[in-house]
Amino acid sequence: MSTRQQAIEQTRDYLQQASIQLTEAEQQQIEIATFGLPDYPISGLQLLTYINTPRYCAKELVLFPRQTCPEHLHPPFDGTPGKQETFRCRWGEVWLFVDDDSLPSSAGIGQPPEGAEQWYTAGNYILLRPGEQYTIAPNTRHWFQAGEHGAVVSEFSSESRDDLDVFTDPRVNRLG
C-alpha cells in the first residue's frame, strides 16, 4: 500500500472518530497536501473540500499527531480583502498560531518542524479543543499544528484561492 493510500485511510479513520460521515464520492475527493516539502507527514495536511465558490467555502481539515500546516496568509484579491476563515475543532486538539495581539504570546509555545523554525513567526496562539472555534481575519499570518493525538477541524470561509496563498517558507509549493 502506498504512503498516499495509507494517509487517505488514516484520514477516513480520523473523520469517523470525529463522527463525520462521508459519501463514497467525498471519500474519493480527499486531498493530501504535502506543500511540496520533503518532510511529509511532519509538514502537511489532509483535507476534503465540500464546496468552494466565490461566496463561501466549507472544508474538513485533518491533521495527524503533531502534523503542521506551514505558516501562510490569504492576501486580498479581485477587490476582496482576502479569505476570512473560521476553524472549528471537531476532534482532538489544534494549536493555532496567528498574528492577533488579542491572544496570548506564542513565545515558547509550539514546535515548528525541525530546520524550518525561521519560517514560523506568528506571534500569538490559541488552543482549540472540540466545540471551540476561532476566526482568522483576511491577510493575517497563521499556521497550525495538531496535538499529540491529531485533530479534525471544520473550516468555514470566504472563497479559497490556494493559488494566491502566500507562504513564509519559500520552499512551499501549495499546488505541487
Q: Please list the pLDDT of the chain residue by residue as tens digits (176 residues).
A: 568 999 999 999 999 999 999 999 999 999 999 999 999 999 999 999 999 999 999 999 999 999 999 999 999 999 999 999 999 999 999 999 999 999 999 988 889 999 999 999 999 999 999 999 999 999 999 999 999 999 999 999 999 999 999 999 999 998 76
Q: Classify residue 166: in a domain, yes or no.
A: no
Q: How confident is the model at residue 175, as a pLDDT?
A: 74
Q: Classify residue 137: in a domain, yes or no.
A: yes
How far apart are alpha carbons 87 and 105 in whole angstroms?
19
Q: Classify residue 129: in a domain, yes or no.
A: yes
Burial code (b: 16+ CB inside 10 Å, e: under 16) for 10-19 equals: ebbebbeebe
| Domain enclosing residue 71, as ranges | 3-160
Report the DSSP pairing between strands 57-63 and 142-157. antiparallel
Q: Classify residue 167: in a domain, yes or no.
A: no
Q: Classify residue 175: in a domain, yes or no.
A: no
Specify whether the CB–CB gap between 135 and 85 falls below 8 A. yes
Q: Classify residue 107: in a domain, yes or no.
A: yes
Q: How confident is the model at residue 110, as a pLDDT?
A: 87
Query: Residue 46 maps to which CATH number?
Result: 2.60.120.10
How far apart are alpha carbons 122 and 119 in whole angstroms?
9
How far apart are alpha carbons 70 and 78 in whole angstroms?
24
Q: How confident is the model at residue 25, as a pLDDT?
A: 96
Q: How confident is the model at residue 174, as a pLDDT?
A: 81
How many domains, in total, are found in the chain? 1
Q: Classify residue 171: in a domain, yes or no.
A: no
Q: Classify residue 14: in a domain, yes or no.
A: yes
